[in-house]
Amino acid sequence: MTESSRRIVIEPVTRVEGHGKVTILLDERHRVREARLHIVEFRGFERFVQGRPYWEVPVLVQRLCGICPVSHHLAASKAMDLIAGVERLTPTAEKIRRLMHMGQIFQSHALHFFHLASPDLLFGFDADPAVRNVLGVAQKHPELARQGVLMRKYGQEVIRATGGKRVHAIVAVPGGVNKSLSAAERDALLADVERMTDWAEAAVGVARDYTLDNLEQIADFGSFTSSHLGLVRADGALELYDGLLRAVDETGQVIFDRLENDRYAEVLAEEVRSWSYMKFPFIRSLGPERGWYRVGPLARLNVCERITTPRAEAARRAFFAALGDPPCQVTMAYHWARMIEVLHAVEAIHELLLDPDITGDELLRSGTRREEAVGVIEAPRGTLFHHYRVDENDQVTMANLIVSTTSNNEPMNRAVRQVAEQHLSGRDRITEGLLNHVEVAIRAYDPCLSCATHALGQMPLAVELRDADGRLLDRRTRG
Amino acid sequence: MAGKHTRPRVATCSLAGCFGCHMSLLDIDERIFELAELVEFARSPIVDKKRFDRRVDIGLIEGGCCNEENVATLREFRRHCEILVSIGDCATAGGVPALRNDIPLAECLAEAYVGGPTVHNPGGRIPDDPELPLLLDKVYPAHEVVRIDYFLPGCPPSAEALWQTLVALLEGRPLELPYELIKYD
Ligand code: SF4
């Protein structure tokens, strides 16, 4: 580091509280030399789960993340179904799990969009931070804020009715579920589902209008070309619970297609870098330099050919009609894609609630014990991989997890760097609004690590400018 | 608590937790707008205040301590909060992250960054950059680091339990939760 170089640290509250932070190094001419998103959190799950009985894992592992615990609960359960020798669940068990999963997609996306991203979209990236939070939204757009809170509530109620609890469900067990819906629970959820569908469609409109009205400003914002990865059905349709792996490159060419879940390690690897506890996944055939990819709502729209529910499919067509053929590379279009999935989730919830199997009583199957299995699911933030080996004493001997946010590690780092180069380079004063640009780019990916921290506001920040000797030159904090 | 300033102040943080306790707080649903009227949020993800600029009436702690930063944050909370409440099993007992306490830390790191079917780490180097805070040998519950005034069990405590706790503390009433709200899961 030269004497006059500067180091900028953006510390979301997640960092202070142990999750992530951004550092930006500027050279003597205030150009960005390096920009990094560090994940400072380490748990050790892969090791401490060893020795635990395999049926315990679905309830244990969701404690990794209280924001999308259902995804971990179900990905682990899918692996443990296979460990228990069960290839196909009973129709009731599979549908209860799908319903819970759709409730999770619905609530998590609603939380992300309304509580977290909407202040940036409604008020602008540079708006006064005093109003640029959800309480500001509640004042200026009270109806929108109320709908956001009630949509999240509805998704959480779907999870509670299926899973027994809103956070950390207790329903999935190897080979099935331990409870289905009662008619009363089903009817209570049905009573609100149409209103939720209308609100979801309106939310698609908000996201679409925002994207199209600001396209010039956001087209390049934190954007770059990348590969995309997600699950699809055998017929190529969007699939969130149980699909096959497909990846496309930056031109839309298929890299691998309809790959069975248990072959994931043949195509994916994760690079370790010394400055982050989060690894950097890549597609093996392309290598660590070129093989990184994106996951999540935008990636899923880019890899699928259609959506099975009608209103979401119409919204998907409108998306590509407006933004051009897939793959769409506009990072800020994640928000629009996310709302299309919200609409799909609530349509799917409606279908499942009308299905007689949902109140059925055949819950469990059994089979011949196996040693090794992989469970893959589309969590709200992207493809989630759980891989376990279990010995003859029913104890776990190996666990490997690639969580959704990990796959977006390289993309988030690129977005941070790109936005820093565009907006911070060459300036000697870094304003609060400029810093928020960096966060807006991270926020598009809805990383688990920070989505909760601005659950009801924006990501808090502290920025320090230091010289090469570590002396504090300047400091900004928000709030 | 009344009289010192207009609205009581509440601060919250997530240390070595999963954010599930914060999610449970959000599960008070529409009452979140009511809560925003009742209290002023200071130093919380709920608003964007990062620093304590004044004393705070109630601090809620999610998660125990797994690294040096957790310890620093927790001590900062103790210095600034009149009442400190451990919420959830991680803060009160270490929770799931504390399952690593019986295992040498080096083994946990090796498993994640050297072994593993998808790890690509030719140099075998484990993340060690100075930007990363030092990990503690074990995960410690909050009360082993600072004095804690109240303990609310559950994983997470329900939204109702959190709401009733907050309201009782805000009104200066003794904290008496009905039996059904006290869960240890
Ligand atoms: S107590 Fe449970 S819900 Fe709360 S942080 Fe710990 S694991 Fe998450």
A residues 385-404 lying closer than 8 A (beta carbon) to B: 387, 398, 400, 402
Instruction: State the CB neighbour count (10 A cutoff) for residue B160.
Output: 15
pLDDT for A59 equals 94
Predicted confidence (pLDDT) per residue in B12-56, tens digit:
888 888 889 989 998 999 998 888 888 887 766 555 455 677 889
- Contact predicate A315/A337, CB 8 Å: no
Instruction: State the CB neighbour count (10 A cutoff) for residue A114.
Output: 24
Residues near A240 by beta carbon (within 8 Å), at least 6 away in sequence: A101, A102, A105, A231, A300, A341, A345, A377, A378
3-state secondary structure of A13: helix
Minimum mean pLDDT range among A261-270, A346-355, A400-409: A400-409
Residues near A279 by beta carbon (within 8 Å), at least 6 away in sequence: A270, A271, A272, A273, A402, A406, A409, B113, B119
**Which residue in A111, A144, A272 has the most chain B C-beta atoms within 10 A of its own C-beta, making it the best mutation to test that interface?**
A272
> Distance between CA atoms of A313 and A347, rounded to whole angstroms?
11
Chain B positions touching A459 (Cβ under 8 A) are: 48
A184 close to B (CB below 8 A): no
pLDDT band for A326, please (50, 70, 90 cuts). Answer: very high
Distance B62 CA to ligand 1 centre (A): 7
- Between A91-110 and A334-354, two packed helices, what is the crossing angle to 10 degrees? 150
pLDDT for A299 equals 97
| Helices (runs of H) and strands (runs of E) counted in chain B | 6, 8
Predicted confidence (pLDDT) per residue in A394-418, tens digit:
999 999 999 888 888 899 889 888 8
- Contact predicate A250/A325, CB 8 Å: no
pLDDT for A456 equals 31
Across the range A367-375, mean pLDDT stands at 97
* Subunit contact A47:B66, Cβ cutoff 8 A: no
ipTM score of the complex? 0.93
pLDDT for A262 equals 97
Domain ranges across chain B: 9-98+135-174
How does the average pLDDT of chain A come out, rounded? 87
pLDDT for B115 equals 86
User: Among A473, A426, A465, which Cα is nearest to A30's?
Assistant: A426
Smallest Cα distance from A433 to chain B, Å? 14
pLDDT for A175 equals 97
Smallest Cα distance from A382 to chain B, Å? 18
Distance B89 CA to ligand 1 centre (A): 6
- Contact predicate A214/A440, CB 8 Å: no
pLDDT band for A9, please (50, 70, 90 cuts). Answer: low
pLDDT for B50 equals 52
CATH number of B9-98+135-174: 3.40.50.700
Nearest CA in chain B to A267: B118
3-state secondary structure of B112: helix
> Distance between CA atoms of A312 and A347, rounded to whole angstroms?
8
Across the range B138-152, mean pLDDT stands at 97
Minimum mean pLDDT range among A57-61, A191-195, A467-471: A467-471
pLDDT for A452 equals 33
Smallest Cα distance from A432 to chain B, Å? 12
- Contact predicate A244/A259, CB 8 Å: yes
Token readout for B121 is 């780490």
The H or E element containing residue A476 is: strand A472-477
pLDDT band for B183, please (50, 70, 90 cuts). Answer: confident
Q: Which residue has the tokens 């400055």?
A: A275
pLDDT above 80 (res A240): yes
Distance A110 CA to ligand 1 centre (A): 22
Quick one: how far is CA A78 from the chain centroid? 19
pLDDT above 50 (res A153): yes
Residue B10: DSSP 8-state: E
A348 or A412: whose pLDDT is higher? A348
Residue A62: DSSP 8-state: G
Residues near A314 by beta carbon (within 8 Å), at least 6 away in sequence: none
pLDDT for A431 equals 74
- Contact predicate A51/A144, CB 8 Å: no
pLDDT above 50 (res A57): yes
> Distance between CA atoms of A355 and A369, rounded to whole angstroms?
31
The H or E element containing residue B83 is: strand B81-87
Q: What domains sit in chain A, N to C, each tagged with a CATH number?
A: 13-41+408-478 (no CATH), 49-364 (1.10.645.10)
Tell me the pTM. Answer: 0.92
- Contact predicate A265/A371, CB 8 Å: no
pLDDT for A338 equals 96
Minimum mean pLDDT range among A285-299, B47-61, B153-167: B47-61
* Subunit contact A43:B97, Cβ cutoff 8 A: yes
* Subunit contact A168:B69, Cβ cutoff 8 A: no
pLDDT band for A393, please (50, 70, 90 cuts). Answer: very high
Ligand 1 lined by B95 (C-beta under 6 Å): yes
Predicted confidence (pLDDT) per residue in A419-475, tens digit:
888 887 777 677 777 777 877 888 788 665 433 333 333 333 344 555 555 555 555
3-state secondary structure of A376: strand
* Subunit contact B48:A265, Cβ cutoff 8 A: no
